[in-house]
Structure 1
Amino acid sequence: MDALTHLLSGPHAQRAFALRVVMDPPWSIDVQDRAPLTLIAILSGEASLVTERVRVSLKPGDIAIVRGPEPYRLADDPEREGLVVIHPGQVCTTQGGDHVSISMAQGVRTWGNSPTGTTTMLIGTYESDAQIGTVVAAALPAVAVIPAGHVDEALMRLLRDEISVDAPGQGGVVDRLLDVLLVHALRGWAREHPESASGWLAAARDPLVSDALRLLHDAPDAPWTIESLAQQLTVSRATLAHRFRTSVGEPPMTYLTSWRMLLAGELLSDPRRTTADIAQQVGYGSPFALSTAFKRHHGVSPTEYRRHRQTPLATRADGPKPTLEPRRSSTSC
């Protein structure tokens, strides 16, 4: 199972926040939601995406993938200051703090300052690492732009149509379509920037490394060592270590630890799973061994991590105070 296959099958591929945004000039949105990853697809019109280090112009058919948690701005003019702010938990306010979720609602999962704006975007936000996976996000730059023509626009239209329909199962279909669009965007970016791809995304350049990743992904519970992995691939330990580090940017066993910790984090989102069960599934001999490795990697114990993941993002200590305005998935922020 490669990382993209895992993205489509894992629990982190569920309940992502997706909506259609429709805007007429002047408009500017300061995104301060601290989400680990957001996909922006331009259907019509143009938009400027501005971060502290990057400024890009997006045209119809373009897709941008933005890594968090740093803020960014979307606007009709790159110099325009933010008129609306998106906080953690997708709480939307003016710069003065007035809520605008209801006033800017334009229908089912549709939000903006005009029902027929000249700029239409699809925005999909993965609001936690458990949804997208740090292994997926870490392979990308802060902003990855996939120009029109590198991803089939039929996928964007299909997601647009599903977002706009209030029908049974819509949430699940939107999640799946968003994931598929993200996978195609990641493929498109890797094809266009083979020299910039890192982590698992760069492994396709080296068949040996690709095979090594497949073994680690498929059997994270196996008692892997650099020796046993090299033996399985019928190469020397030195050859495997050198080529793996050159492609992925870290040694095989370091990568395996990160992969195990990603899986453990996902499994902790299921309250039915015990620490002992999770430890066995990700290759640790005891809950204590898992807890020690998990705390070293994440900085918190599995119990603390589970508690944090079950707390809504908008109510965490590093986000804004809880809003009295209910979250309404059928409309918008």
Structure 2
Amino acid sequence: MDTLADLLDGPRARGAFLLRMVMRPPWAVRVEDGAPLCVVIVRTGELWVTPQGGEPVRCGPGDVAVMRGPAPYVVSDAPGSPPQWIIHDEERCTTLFGAPPASSMTFGVRMWGNDPDGPTTLLVGTYLAQGAVERRLLAALPPLAVLPDWESPLPALLGDEIVRDAPGQPVVLDRLLDLILIAVLRAWFSRPGARPPGWFAAHGDPVVGPALRLLHDDPARPWTVAELAAAAGASRAALAKRFGDLVGEPPMSYLTGLRLAHAADLLRGGDQTLEAIARRVGYGSAFALSAAFKRERGVSPQEFRAGAYPEGWRDGSMNTEE
């Protein structure tokens, strides 16, 4: 499996928040929803994004902005425009004084703004749920990533679908948002001068790439470096060195992080027993998984399932998987 696809395949969008936003200057919105990731496509007009503690960045028509949470940020018509609305968690919007926005700001299916004929049109897709496998991807992103002049038919398709009210539409929009995110990140990591994370760059290596795909295809298998090397057509020493140089850690350490990330996603996403999860991710017993999980994550699987996260989990700064 492609490494990037695997990172996005587990914690996919589930009930994502999607909106077509139409604005006329002056306007500004402060986003404090704590969401792990938000994608904004500029269809017309311009957008300025100001990360917390950062400088304003302009986005024009065709540009895509990816904001990594949970730190707040401001989107506006111009740098320094004072926020008029605040987006809180649970998709709740208020004025600066805590009152709900005017009912006239909602003027269609998933359409919101201060003027339906405004010159600025944005397509907004927000991932509301944080998943463990996704955390490795979040850790590789800056608070704000802007892909300029993205040439793709997907924004037009999203623009058409986002305002439809058809059976199963939320699922359609979730999958479309996933597709857009994968395409945008692939283009962003591949742009000239980019510094993609090691696991992304290593995917194209003739030795390390096949080994990574094998690990992601079957993380539960009791892999050894020798088996991976044989499958990749290299010596054990050559694979170990190239893997460490490109990915930044030994193959077995990478496999441990991958297994624990999948275990965390299963803990969050269902009610399987710890024993069943252990078997699915390559541990011989619930006790072995629990010990490894507590050692690497700082909390037990039971505590994690109950919502206890170690410091740094939500913002991606805890980076044991890199």
Q: Do both share a fold (TM > 0.5)? A: yes
What TM-score do you get using the length of structure 1 for normalisation? 0.84
2:28 paired residue number: 28
Instruction: Give the CA deviation at 1:195.
Output: 4.0
List structure 1 segments (4+ residues) > 6 angstroms apart after TM superposition: none
Deviates more, 1:23-32 or 1:195-204: 195-204
What is the alpha-carbon distance in structure 2 between the residues aligned to residue 109 and residue 64 of structure 1?
20
1:327 paired residue number: none
What is the alpha-carbon distance in structure 2 between the residues aligned to residue 194 and residue 257 of structure 1?
31
Query: 1:265-306, CA deviations, whole angstroms, 9 ceiling, x for partnerless residues?
Result: 222234341111111111111111112222333332222322
2:80 paired residue number: 79
1:304 paired residue number: 303
Instruction: Give the CA deviation at 1:54.
Output: 4.2
Say if 2:13 and 2:129, in contact at 8 Å, map to a contact too. no
What is the alpha-carbon distance in structure 2 between the residues aligned to residue 227 and residue 109 of structure 1?
53
What is the alpha-carbon distance in structure 2 between the residues aligned to residue 131 and residue 172 of structure 1?
21
Structure 1: which amino acid aligns with 2:83? G
1:232 paired residue number: 231
Instruction: Give the CA deviation at 1:159.
Output: 0.8
What is the alpha-carbon distance in structure 2 between the residues aligned to residue 248 and residue 50 of structure 1?
32
1:126 paired residue number: 127
What is the alpha-carbon distance in structure 2 between the residues aligned to residue 29 and residue 143 of structure 1?
16
Say if 1:198 and 1:249, in contact at 8 Å, map to a contact too. no
Matched, 1:144 2:137: no
Instruction: Give the CA deviation at 1:37.
Output: 1.3
Instruction: Give the CA deviation at 1:135.
Output: 2.6
Say if 2:38 and 2:68, in contact at 8 Å, map to a contact too. yes
Matched, 1:177 2:176: yes
Instruction: Give the CA deviation at 1:194.
Output: 5.6
Structure 2 unaligned segments of length 5 or more: list them. Answer: 309-313, 315-322
Structure 1: which amino acid aligns with 2:114? N
Give the secondary structure class of the aligned counterpart of 1:308: coil
Give the secondary structure class of the aligned counterpart of 2:229: helix
Structure 1 unaligned segments of length 5 or more: list them. Answer: 310-317, 319-333
1:1-333 correspondence to structure 2 within 5 Å: 1-6=1-6, 9-51=9-51, 52-100=53-101, 102=103, 104-130=105-131, 133-148=134-149, 150-152=150-152, 154-193=153-192, 195-308=194-307
After superposition, the Cα gap between the structure-2 partners of 1:274 and 1:187, relative to the gap in structure 1 and judged at 3 Å, is same
Structure 2: which amino acid aligns with 1:120? T
What TM-score do you get using the length of structure 2 for normalisation? 0.87
CA-atom RMSD in angstroms: 2.3
Structure 2: which amino acid aligns with 1:255? Y
Instruction: Give the CA deviation at 1:205.
Output: 4.2
Structure 2: which amino acid aligns with 1:56? V
Structure 1: which amino acid aligns with 2:63? D
Say if 1:15 and 1:171, in contact at 8 Å, map to a contact too. yes
Give the secondary structure class of the aligned counterpart of 2:243: helix
Deviates more, 1:67-76 or 1:124-133: 124-133
After superposition, the Cα gap between the structure-2 partners of 1:205 and 1:86, relative to the gap in structure 1 and judged at 3 Å, is same
Query: 1:228-279, CA deviations, whole angstroms, 9 ceiling, x for partnerless residues?
Result: 4334323334432332233223332332222222211222234341111111
Structure 2: which amino acid aligns with 1:30? R
Say if 1:294 and 1:301, in contact at 8 Å, map to a contact too. yes
Say if 1:43 and 1:122, in contact at 8 Å, map to a contact too. yes
After superposition, the Cα gap between the structure-2 partners of 1:218 and 1:132, relative to the gap in structure 1 and judged at 3 Å, is closer
What is the alpha-carbon distance in structure 1 between the residues aligned to residue 121 and residue 255 of structure 2?
41
Say if 1:30 and 1:74, in contact at 8 Å, map to a contact too. yes
